[in-house]
Amino acid sequence: MKVKTSHIALTEKTTTFLTSTKKMLVNNQWIESEAKKTFDTLNPANGNVLTKIPIADENDVDNAVVIARNAFDLIWKDGIKPAERSDLLWKLATLIERDIKIFMELETLDNGKPLEKAKYDVLGAINHLKYYAGWATKIEGTTIPTHSNKLVYTKKEPLGVVGLIVPWNFPLMIAIWKLAPALACGNCCILKPAEQTPLTALYLGKLILEAGFPPGVVNIITGPGIPTGQAMSQHMDIDKISFTGSTLVGKKIMEASAKSNLKKVSLELGGKSPNVIFEDADLDMVLDSLQWSSFYNTGQECTLGSRIYVQESIFEKVLKSFKEKAGKMTISNGFNNPDLGPMISEKQLNTVLDYIELGETEGAKLVYGGNRLDGDLAKGYFLEPTIFITKNEDLTIAREEIFGPVVVVSKFKDFDEVIKKANTSKYGLAAAVWTKDLSKAHRFANAIDAGTVWINGYDLFDAAVPFGGFKQSGNGKEMGKSAIDLYTKEKAVWTVL
């Protein structure tokens, strides 16, 4: 593991934004929370306070919902044409393009990810906005033949007011994954970024105003899961919650929604994704990707291949190369453009360290890493890439989502064995298979219980391709045409001629 160092210089706009008083965006106005309570958002590279952020309580959430409902009923639903919604989304995309450097810097400061990886996220957000700008004018119904003297047609209508709760690992990109289709479908939105990473969402609010969105259409409130997220989930006049985060919290949101108004809920939750390498795979391709499919974003990504299965004839060769390449990855403050930045918080770091200790206690063999970094990086939340090997699928580290740079590598003999092992997980978010035999690859894709399957690649995404998991990895599909269904309701109309 190599440590990179260099001087950090922020752009003037980023510095100005950081030193300004942070407020929430409601009804196109910047407001404080009613109770005037705040929390600190920290730089995970050194633990320093970046700025203070308002805490929205139940009253603040209710105020935002009332504003959003009025905007939906009076302006957004019928007063703005689909083509105008399209123009607004495209305009917002161009403004993000203009300020891409600011978004990159804020994301790296608040989340810790390397600057160039933050750029990838911002570009992804831009592409999603442009993609759904095209959808705004193409949300159509159908006619259904039933009888010669009856006309039956369907129409897709917006849900109304939707609550969008975003995680801390991809703060801007996942915010746009939700905002873009929700707005294209004609909904009014209440966006809550994760309390660990609120800065890019608040800066996005500045551009929403500049783009010309009507008052109350996009409202951005800040705060932790309790009270802010809980108040959104329980609110009787929010029509839908879209949440990305842990399975545990997703279950709580679904329960709260069921107990309130049975609001529609879509959940993109945890993963423990199998990355399966057959002996006939192109090993050059595999070994070039393995450290990234395992440790990208410091392991803080739900789709990463945290369970690696290698056919026994090539196991030692793959493991040796994997350890060597993990050892060559650079780690540092994200502004130095390392391979890996810090973990999001000391709490998350300690959680992962506990999993590493538990893995050793339960009998897994630690073959690389496992240590918090000291020296120049001691004040930040930095952890080495960590590799375990085991034969026991029942170990905690083989079953539970760790959400850190920790992977478990296991051997397998044949196709049937690895399918059985891969499908034992309670999660079903993603999976990958590496083989030159495309027949085998497609048999694998058919047999694996996962919402996304990559063949001879990993972590491939596009705005047009649906994404979402099976089992306890959630419900509903974000991205692509499928996201339109998440943010609309279908009405059937019968006419007797």
Catalytic positions: 268
In degrees rounded to 5, what are phi and psi of residue 471?
50, -135
- 397 Cβ neighbours under 8 A, 6+ residues apart: 355, 356, 358, 359, 362, 364, 388, 390, 406, 408
Q: How far apart are CA 418 and CA 424, in angstroms?
A: 10
Contacts 24+ apart (CB under 8 A), 327-330: 327/1, 327/368, 328/2, 329/1, 329/2, 329/291, 329/295, 329/385, 330/1, 330/2, 330/3, 330/4
- 284 Cβ neighbours under 8 A, 6+ residues apart: none
Q: How far apart are the first and last CA of the chain?
A: 75
Nearest to 458 by CA among 278, 285, 215, 261: 285
| 3-state class (DSSP) for residue 389 | strand
Burial class (CB in 10 A: 0-12, 13-18, 19+), 78: exposed
- 15 Cβ neighbours under 8 A, 6+ residues apart: none
Residue 76 in tokens: 């957004």
Q: How far apart are CA 11 and CA 30, in angstroms?
A: 23
Q: How far apart are CA 452 and CA 267, in angstroms?
A: 15
